[in-house]
Structure 1
Amino acid sequence: MTQVRIGVQIAPQHASYQQIRDTVVELEQLGVDVLFNWDHFYPLSGEPDGLHFEGWTMLAAWAEQTTRVEFGCLVTCNSYRNADLLADMARTVDHISAHDDGTGRLIFGIGSGWFERDYDEYGYEFGTPGTRLDALAEAMPRIEARWSKLNPAPTRDIPVLIGGGGEKKTLRIVAQHADIWHSFSDLETLNRKKRILAEHCEAVGRDVSEITLSSAFGNAAPTEVGDALVEAGVRLFTIGISGPDYTQDLGKIKAALAWRDSL
């Protein structure tokens, strides 16, 4: 069976950067496989104007701080940056994170965006879900083309993770460009959307098995839902944690790691 990996999304909200940095150290030492943050400008829960930090500058720090884990945004908002600039940022973080063998550890997570306050406060046009998805579809070839032109090139074919479940547009973009699909869905919905993704893959001439499925445990314990999700093809499981106290979910993370190691 393909290796199951455990990710943790450290929400960069309601905590000092020292707390975030210490949490990154602890999670890497525990054996977590992937660390994520997110790409927002304000908290998504709790006090709306609480402590919050920007995601991509944080990823550059994580690239220097860590030595083993893969990492990235879950997910980058395509709307916030010029596509070619974003490709260059990702390439640079990829190099910063390189192992001794020269291979970087960045996972390039991206989506079309949804949090209206980010757009309004920072002066971006919010548009509609359809226009934002169209913009993502236009950006992905530009990002891939820029990676092919940069000197130095990325250290590897940077894995692309696309998040979202829209059946007509999002899953087609996944079929065309993603190495990992983060579904944001429950088991029943995942199984239905898998079939739709396979249809999109067939249409663009791609084998759906090339795309790793990514999901979450939700509020359930890993042992309650993990086996069924593995049976459905999920190979990357992510647990979300938030400030002010990142340690409150360490028990669930340790249980997930133990479950992973038991497979």
Structure 2
Amino acid sequence: MSRKVLVLLSEHGYWGEELLGPLTHFDQRGYEVVFATPTGGRAHALPPSMDPDYVDPPLGRSVTTPEVAKLVSELDESDRLDNPLDISAVVPDRPYVSDDDYLHALEAYNRALDRLAEHIDAFDTMLIVGGSGPIVDLANNGRVHALILGFLKAGKPVAAECYGVACLAFARDWEDRKSIIWGKHVTGHCKEYDYKDGTGFLGTDFTMGPPPYPLEYILRDATGPDGRYHGNFGKETSVIVDYPFITGRSTPDSFLTGQKIVETLEDGLRRFGW
């Protein structure tokens, strides 16, 4: 049975290995992969993620091998990421309450979500790739949240890596506003891995110091008393499967994240890593 995966990428830079790792597993299995970005712009890898000599400040060492750097550069320079799906063109934007004729606009919005469900039916899962870029255009993107909710409503697993996991914390039903990962076990970029200075984004004219929010704290709060955030700091890898979610902590976990997505789809994996 052929599988189809929707891969969401930031237009402000993704970390190369966090795409390469899962994509390698998808390609090995012959999955069809559709790339998508918030406005249809072409995604690019963050330059440090293609540089084996770049020393990651929190870890004090390179996190990119020469082999991975080469493969990421080849992928980034290829035409494979050209012409991504434009999320803004296929996922409706919820109207403001202050908009004219709000009631009818909301009804139209919900009809559009019903039509979106027909597109989601064609996919088996979705993956949100990490890096600093998702902080800018994915984490608090209402259309991305609607897409995630659509996959969950359809009973399909959702995967996210690194700062892409923030999308799961913020995706909430409009009525109860409770995070979809409430009561779940997840991992994501831990506090120890945060930069003190130099968080950069492609396509912007600024570089900030630390990330604007500590993802670990948000995930700890979003999972609630019956769930848990697992940082696994000091361990080489951290990937958590608590179905329907597959989450990867950061760069070193990318290939394992891809493996667990495949095992979730092919072998019925429902729990891993905790």
Q: State the TM-score, normalizing by the size of structure 2.
A: 0.34
Q: State the TM-score, normalizing by the size of structure 1.
A: 0.35
Instruction: Pick the structure with more helix per residue.
Output: 1
